[in-house]
């Protein structure tokens, strides 16, 4: 069964040093990308109380020793995911984008980790339940 997380992992498989959340090796080699993906809130229900539309969220966090290195791996992941639909079992997923609460490109520098730069992006997509 393919979940939003496994579908995202498949989509990002061609990116070197892209890791699921909680799977980053210690110590990491920079730059690297951390991702997660989940279904969030249902958007509509049918009269029989079955949800018909769910929102999905893919969160990307790119880390690098410089802004350019973090941005390079961040851009590579965006090129793979933006405007593309994930293949999730039993769901018809719309394209990933930044609308409806998505956040693109929040950049921070961590003063406690030798100035590592982090870029966080949140993409969203709508998914409708496929009929059996």
Which range of 30-34, 95-99, 112-116 scores highest in mean pLDDT? It is: 30-34
The values of phi and psi at residue 121, to 5°, are -130, 140
- More confident position, 102 or 5: 5
CATH, domain 4-36+57-129, list 3.30.70, 2.60.40, 3.30.2000, 3.40.50: 3.30.2000
- Region 33-57: mean pLDDT is 75
Q: Encoding tokens for residue 3? A: 């979940």
pLDDT digits (tens, 9 = 90+) for 67-111: 999 999 999 999 999 999 999 998 999 999 876 555 667 788 877
DSSP assignment letter at 82: B
**pTM for the complete prediction?**
0.86
Q: What is the DSSP string of 3-47?
A: -HHHHHHHHTTTSTTEEETT---SSPPSSEEEEEEEEEEEEEE-T
| Domain spans of the chain, in order of start | 4-36+57-129
């Amino acid at each position: 069964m393919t979940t939003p997380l496994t579908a995202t992992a498949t989509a990002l498989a061609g990116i070197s040093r892209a890791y699921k959340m909680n799977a980053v090796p210690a110590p990491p080699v920079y730059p690297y990308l951390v991702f997660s993906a989940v279904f969030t809130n249902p958007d509509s229900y049918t009269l029989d109380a079955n949800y018909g539309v769910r929102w999905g969220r893919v969160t990307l966090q790119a880390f690098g020793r410089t802004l350019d290195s973090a941005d390079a791996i961040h851009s590579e992941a965006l090129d793979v995911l933006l405007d593309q639909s994930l293949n999730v079992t039993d769901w018809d997923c719309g394209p990933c984008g930044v609308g409806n609460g998505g956040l693109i490109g929040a950049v921070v520098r961590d003063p406690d980790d030798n100035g590592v730069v982090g870029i966080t992006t949140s993409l969203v997509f709508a998914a409708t339940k496929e009929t059996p």
